[in-house]
Amino acid sequence: MNPRTDIEVLTEAEAKAELADLANQLAAANDAYHREDAPQISDAEYDALKQRNAAIEARFPQLVREDSPSLQVGAVPLAGFGKITHSIPMLSLANAFDSDDIREFDTSVRKFLGLGPEADLSYTAEPKIDGLSLSLRYENGKLIEAATRGDGRVGENVTANARTIDDIPTELDDAPKVLEVRGEVYMSHADFEALNKRQAARSEKTFANPRNAAAGSLRQLDAGITKSRPLRFFAYAWGSVSDPLATTQMAAIERLRKLGFRTNPATRLCSGPAEMLANYEEIEEQRATLGYDIDGVVYKVNDLGLQGRLGFRSTTPRWAIAHKFPAELAWTTLEGIDIQVGRTGALSPVARLSPVTVGGVVVSNATLHNEDYIAGLDSKGGEIRGGKDIRVGDWVQVYRAGDVIPKVADVDLAKRPEDSKPYDFPTKCPECGSEAPREPGDAVRRCSGGLICPAQAVEKLKHFVSRAAFDIDGLGAKQVEQFYSDGWIAEPADIFTLQSRYGDGLQQLKNREGWGEKSAKALFDAIEDKRKIPLRRFLFGLGIRHVGEAASNLIALHYGEWAILDQAMRDAAPKRGAAWDDLLGIDGVGVVMAGSLVGAFAQEAERASIERLAAELEILPATRSDVTGSPVAGKTVVFTGALELMTRAEAKARAERLGAKVAGSVSAKTDILIAGPRAGSKATKAAELGIEILDEAAWLALLDGA
Ligand code: D41
């Protein structure tokens, strides 16, 4: 592609000409793709053109063309929706299930801020709408982008669809130059019933509940369909804003309402846990008459200054919590128990149920957790359900809370068939026949077959291509199973050699069922696209037990580069010594995770598989991309002595937010020691090593310069 002029320096005339050119190119690309079935540009090029178009439109909203590619209803991007990276991630909410959790939430907020029990601290309370979150970006008062939440970092571009929703204004008066409004798209009960009737009358798909109907209606490639669906939107939060909306949550919501958004009229201010809990009961009473589904109440610290100080953990803000309504229950019969073998070999029992509706959703499978759970025991050998075991043929209670996997919670012994027998949990893997022993301290049996077990291999591959890992478009669970069973891929590295091993991979793939020239080419492009992969995704993609997404991120940031991480894993293999201590020193990495991690790297077959994969890739170093420019980004700091202006927790969180690494002890790698009164040996050691020592006030002054 030709080098392009920086958008910042484009003149209006140049921008106008380029927008016309982009509209032409994109229209031609769409035509080639849809009509001639012969794409002329790659997905990546297509996306780059669309992005360029959107960026120019953002700077010159007055030049947005009638036929702008970003406005076109029904303009189908190549692989489903385009992607949008949220400028500020869309966080999740921590959950509370009872009043103790709410009191603890208040206590932890106070503790973090160093506030005593008598200090004023108010919270907003609002119904938690059961829909799907959406982020709307306005620039100069014009709606320019709408994105679903996706994985919180990257969502789907549903701009054309969002424009069809009546509750979503496309223009705002008196709005900040940049304003991202976040909220929930949902469908009312009445609209949902009417939609299902209409669908049924036309022999089209009906929806299980309003939430599914809302999701299915918003995620339509043809925005014309979205337009015909009665979607609504409540605003409850914001992302980037060029000028603060207000100083409190309550006032910010009021500002959004004045800007033309619908906000929930049931939002209230509460002075503390007692009022929050009273409000919860009130909302629970109104639940049936609200006219739309809610699944709890959300509380947020009202003072936005305090919200800022509280910040967030890896995926949830410290200043908000969702108090969920109790789960829905139903009774049905247990028809059978299947054993599924997971990525790490765990044998998981799954209940096959006679289908039953639980809170609007038909459930026919539910988890039974593990062997002990079926036997009526907890992880420490104590009794659960009064020691009642669960048997095939039993009358069982199914429980479902929000999005979580349904569980079998209880059993009615009075209805137990006379000839029933206790369930005999298999001791061999049902997939590969290997022994499935249960290690001391482990709650589950695990297949010992490792990579020879097809179930483990397939699950590892599915994990590898999943969204938080390599996220390869067009290669989902179904395709992985197909390729695996045909012997095309056995481990992650094989994905990257697929095209070359099959000589003309395209020819072979496009002749397979379910594949055409277009999708085959798109797949190979998507695979090539992921040859460059950030270290955190690489590590998470390995699917090592206990090493989740958040931990992968922390570990990647700690070591920075693949070569360093790789070496550190070898050095830490004896589970003692400096490399081991260093690994355990990462906040959030405990002995169990560290052991699993070094164990995976030390295991011969696994290590070889990792090396084959690494050889196919360019693994990008981990960077704290969001904090460049901070004076402490990348620095290692240690706190010692008493802090007087904020709690230790807040100081640590703030330093990390600005890109610093907070260590527990002073070493040659330490850049700054922040020493409060009564600092002891750490300060002495730092002085010996010639490390910069700041008092708390000097440290804060340094940060304020940020
Ligand atoms: O009504 C809701 N579903 C709702 C969801 C709400 N009223 N407030 C919310 N606030 C947030 C934060 C605090 C992270 C801005 C939310 C959600 N998040 C949320 N919904 C789904 C994931 C997160």
Cβ neighbours for 640, distance < 8 A, ≥ 6 positions apart: 666, 673, 674, 675, 676, 679, 680, 682, 683
Residue 37 has pLDDT above 50, yes or no: no
Residue 693 in any domain: the answer is yes
Q: For ligand 1, pick from 123, 126, 236, 283 the residue to mutate: most ligand atoms within 8 Å of CB.
A: 236
What's the pLDDT score for residue 44?
A: 62
What's the pLDDT score for residue 371?
A: 93
Residue 79 has pLDDT above 80, yes or no: no
What CATH number does residue 25 fall under? 2.40.50.140
- Note whether 530 and 562 are within 8 A (CB): no
- My answer on whether 61 and 102 are in the same domain is no
Q: How far is the CA of 67 from the centre of ligand 1 (A)?
A: 35
- My answer on whether 236 and 285 are in the same domain is yes
What CATH number does residue 242 fall under? 3.30.470.30
Q: What is the mean pLDDT of residues 290-294?
A: 94
Q: What is the mean pLDDT of residues 621-632?
A: 70
Does residue 92 have its Cβ closer than 6 Å to ligand 1?
yes
Does residue 150 have its Cβ closer than 6 Å to ligand 1?
no
What CATH number does residue 697 fall under? 3.40.50.10190
Residue 358 has pLDDT above 50, yes or no: yes
Residue 40 has pLDDT above 90, yes or no: no
Q: For ligand 1, pick from 86, 105, 123, 128 the residue to mutate: most ligand atoms within 8 Å of CB.
A: 128
Q: How far is the CA of 299 from the centre of ligand 1 (A)?
A: 10
Q: How far is the CA of 85 from the centre of ligand 1 (A)?
A: 18
What CATH number does residue 615 fall under? 1.10.150.20
What's the pLDDT score for residue 153?
A: 85
Domain total in the chain: 4
484 against 8, higher pLDDT: 484
Residue 351 in any domain: the answer is yes
| The two three-digit tokens of residue 598, written as one number | 């070094």
Structural domain boundaries enclosing 165: 83-324
Q: How far is CA 365 from CA 21, 209, 210, 351, 446, in A?
A: 53, 18, 21, 5, 21
Confidence band for 705, pLDDT divided at 50, 70 and 90: low
Atom of ligand 1 nearest to the CA of 126: 7
Identity of residue 121: L
Residue 63 in any domain: the answer is yes
- My answer on whether 291 and 362 are in the same domain is no
Q: How far is the CA of 263 from the centre of ligand 1 (A)?
A: 13
- My answer on whether 299 and 350 are in the same domain is no
Residue 227 has pLDDT above 70, yes or no: yes
Most confident listed range (56-70, 79-93, 441-455, 652-666): 441-455
- My answer on whether 298 and 344 are in the same domain is no
- Euclidean distance between CA atoms 183 and 214, whole angstroms: 13
- My answer on whether 566 and 539 are in the same domain is yes
Residue 162 has pLDDT above 80, yes or no: yes
45 against 299, higher pLDDT: 299
What's the pLDDT score for residue 150?
A: 85
Among residues 361, 318, 328, 372, the alpha carbon closest in space to that of 653 is found at 318
Given 324, 343, 375, the domain boundary residue is 324
Residue 625 has pLDDT above 70, yes or no: no
Which residue's CA is the closest to the ligand 1 atom numbered 14?
Answer: 91
Does residue 236 have its Cβ closer than 6 Å to ligand 1?
yes
Q: How far is CA 138 from CA 37, 154, 172, 304, in A?
A: 35, 18, 8, 21
Does residue 93 have its Cβ closer than 6 Å to ligand 1?
yes
- The β-bridge relationship of strands 320-324 and 347-358 is unpaired
Residue 3 has pLDDT above 80, yes or no: no
- My answer on whether 655 and 614 are in the same domain is no
Strand 661-663's sheet: what is its strand order?
661-663, 636-640, 672-675, 692-694
The answer to which of 7-21, 37-51, 280-294, 450-464 has the lowest mean pLDDT is: 37-51
Most confident listed range (156-160, 448-452, 655-659): 156-160
**327-357 pLDDT, tens per residue?**
888 999 999 999 999 999 999 999 999 999 8
Does residue 184 have its Cβ closer than 6 Å to ligand 1?
yes
Given 394, 415, 436, the domain boundary residue is 415
Residue 432 has pLDDT above 80, yes or no: yes
Given 286, 309, 324, the domain boundary residue is 324
Q: For ligand 1, pick from 105, 133, 211, 316 the residue to mutate: most ligand atoms within 8 Å of CB.
A: 133
Residue 394 in any domain: the answer is yes
Q: What is the mean pLDDT of residues 238-249?
A: 96
- Euclidean distance between CA atoms 595 and 644, whole angstroms: 38
Q: What is the mean pLDDT of residues 579-601?
A: 91
- My answer on whether 652 and 675 are in the same domain is yes
| Exposed/middle/buried for residue 599 (C-beta within 10 Å: 0-12, 13-18, 19+) | middle
What's the pLDDT score for residue 627?
A: 55
Q: For ligand 1, pick from 298, 304, 318 the residue to mutate: most ligand atoms within 8 Å of CB.
A: 298
Does residue 301 have its Cβ closer than 6 Å to ligand 1?
no
Q: What is the mean pLDDT of residues 430-437?
A: 95
Residue 597 in any domain: the answer is yes
Atom of ligand 1 nearest to the CA of 131: 3
Residue 625 in any domain: the answer is no
- My answer on whether 385 and 371 are in the same domain is yes
* Catalytic positions, written as ranges: 128
Does residue 237 have its Cβ closer than 6 Å to ligand 1?
yes
- My answer on whether 603 and 643 are in the same domain is no
For the chain, what is the mean pLDDT? Answer: 89
Does residue 133 have its Cβ closer than 6 Å to ligand 1?
yes
- My answer on whether 130 and 274 are in the same domain is yes
3 state DSSP class of 85 = strand
**269-279 pLDDT, tens per residue?**
999 999 999 99
- My answer on whether 228 and 341 are in the same domain is no
What's the pLDDT score for residue 562?
A: 96
Q: What is the mean pLDDT of residues 486-515?
A: 80
Position of tokens 């929706």? Answer: 81
Residue 73 has pLDDT above 50, yes or no: no
Which residue's CA is the closest to the ligand 1 atom numbered 19?
Answer: 92
Residues linked to residue 233 through DSSP beta bridges, in sequence order: 185
Residue 511 in any domain: the answer is no
Residue 462 in any domain: the answer is no
**631-680 pLDDT, tens per residue?**
888 888 999 988 888 888 888 888 888 888 888 888 888 999 999 888 88
